[in-house]
Amino acid sequence: MEKKKFIFILNSSFDKPDNAAGALQLASNMKAFDVELDFFLINEGVLLAKKGFAESITWQKKNGFSPIADLLKTLIEDFGVKFYVCASCVKPYGLDGAELIKNAEPKPGSFLGELLMERQSVSF
């Protein structure tokens, strides 16, 4: 059976922390089944790629989700998930010259288009 591939498109962070946590939690659960998945961060979601930013999000309402910083750490360190950052969002969201988390790199929207041609998308 062919291994399934997914791209999670995440466009929130501090503005909707429960959405961000839900996406990261689902991805962590899916990785336990050895699926291939990565993230494409857009809009406010790109801020999660800034080193130290996830640790500042402490106002999640749903207790069922792990903290965003912990989920990011698990996805990166335990599962090697990549976080592609929308290149058009880098400057408007103040990431130009900022230190990014491990496994994060800016990519253009056309790269997301390529990923969508070969993967199933999950949007949050």
| Neighbour-count burial for 81-106, b at 16+ CB within 10 Å, e otherwise | bbbbbbbebbeebebeeeebbebbeb
| pLDDT value of residue 64 | 72
Torsion angles phi and psi, residue 74, rounded to 5: -60, -45
- Whether the pLDDT of residue 38 is over 90: the answer is yes
- Whether the pLDDT of residue 1 is over 80: the answer is no
DSSP H/E element including 28: helix 17-31
Q: What is the mean pLDDT of residues 44-62?
A: 90
pLDDT tens sequence across 86-116: 999 999 999 999 999 999 999 999 999 999 9
DSSP H/E element including 122: strand 120-123
Among residues 60, 85, 90, 80, which one has the least CA distance to residue 9?
85
Distance between first and last Cα of the chain: 28
In the chain, domain spans: 5-123
| pLDDT value of residue 114 | 96
* CATH code of the region 5-123: 3.40.1260.10
pLDDT band at 81 (very low <50, low <70, confident <90, very high): very high
